[in-house]
Amino acid sequence: MTDLTRDAVLGFIGGSGIYEIDGLTNTRWETVESSFGTPSDQLLFGELDGQQLVFLPRHGRGHKLNPTGINYRANIDAMKRAGVTDIISLSAVGSLKEEYAPGHFVLVDQFIDRTFSREKTFYTNGCAAHVSFSHPVAERLQAALAEACRKLDLPHDVNGTYICMEGPQFSTFAESTLYRSWGCAVIGMTNMPEAKLAREAEIPYATVAMVTDYDCWHPDHDSVTVEQVIKVLTGNAEKARNLVRTVAPMLAKRPEVDHQGGDDALEYALITHPDARDPALVAKLDAVAGRVLNR
């Protein structure tokens, strides 16, 4: 990793309450237009001890959008247009391991994508690209989150696989058992294709998976219900706000180029010859791919 040489603009994607942080000043909700449609909500810009933060309620304020209905491309494109340099996802999940009880945080390092009804790439026909995604989480962000969890004495584990299902229904018992046999740690409905698109936009990304339930595999717990999820979510939200407040100053400075995090993911990824690229699509990619398209 290179020396920390420039200011970071941290973006947080998560529940509607994560931005209610003591000390957040100069706040403003702002509409950020995206060439890929409408983001989940306006973006909240603010400062924490002088540091620039940007928040996006993933489901919209009031939880208007189900996981499939979220426009993930517009969300990531809007964050890029807002100047966000790094994204931390705060996401409610079900636990697939005995040791990850409700209230536990897992700083995941891998994903399995089981979604099937979502737009998963910016680079459709007319401008094809293939980015590396073998290590989808930015180690620099994950390490800072782990240190913040330790400072706050939050129950957490570092590393684990997040399997993303389509939803909005919860898993069947057979599905939950299958995912456990694969060694998955947690299950959720929102981090795919969000993490893929962040990589395609050259924004380092990390996930805080906040356990709300044991999915439906656990013999000593009832099948997951919205009522029990909401109950645990309330407690997790306060932990998440404290985590944001603690981790933000740790990430105030960042490398000029975070190679592992994907700052240069597009360096050799664009396959379509410049003469064959669709001008209309290229115009839409001005934010997420401008670094390589404009040189």
Question: Which one of 77, 157, 213, 263 is the catalytic residue?
Answer: 213
* Angle in degrees, CA 30, 25, 145, rounded to 5: 90
Q: In whole angstroms, what is the distance from residue 210 CA to residue 239 CA?
A: 9
**For the chain, which residues make up each domain, given as ranges?**
4-289
In angstroms, how far is CA 139 from the centroid of its own chain?
14
Question: Which one of 215, 220, 275, 286 is the catalytic residue?
Answer: 215
Its pTM stands at 0.95
Tens place of pLDDT per residue across the chain (295 aa): 456 789 999 999 998 678 889 899 999 999 999 999 999 999 999 999 999 999 999 999 999 999 999 999 999 999 999 999 999 999 999 999 999 999 999 999 999 999 999 999 999 999 999 999 999 999 999 999 999 999 999 999 999 999 999 999 999 999 999 999 999 999 999 999 999 999 999 999 999 999 988 888 877 666 656 666 677 777 788 999 999 999 999 999 999 999 999 999 999 999 999 999 999 999 999 999 999 998 7
| Tokens found for residue 196 | 């893929």
Q: Please report, in range form, the residues annotated as the binding site for substrate.
A: 189, 213-215
Q: Please report, in range form, the residues annotated as the binding site.
A: 16, 58-59, 91-92, 189-190, 213-215
Positive or negative torsion for Cα 221, 13, 244, 263: positive
Which amino acid appears at position 65 of this protein?
L
Is there a catalytic annotation at residue 3?
no
Helix 72-81 × helix 191-200 angle, to 10°: 40
Please tell me the predicted confidence (pLDDT) of residue 1.
44
* Helix count and strand count (H, E) for the chain: 7, 13
Please tell me the predicted confidence (pLDDT) of residue 98.
93
> What separation, in Å, do the N-terminal and C-terminal C-alpha atoms of the chain show?
25
Q: In whole angstroms, what is the distance from residue 147 CA to residue 16 CA?
A: 24
Helix (H) or strand (E) holding 28: strand 24-30
CATH fold of 4-289, please? Rossmann fold (3.40.50)
Are 191 and 89 spatial neighbours (Cβ–Cβ below 8 Å)?
yes
Are 42 and 62 spatial neighbours (Cβ–Cβ below 8 Å)?
no
Please tell me the predicted confidence (pLDDT) of residue 220.
66
Q: Please report, in range form, the residues annotated as the binding site for phosphate.
A: 16, 58-59, 91-92, 190
Q: Look up tokens 């709300």; give the residue.
A: 212
Please tell me the predicted confidence (pLDDT) of residue 235.
74
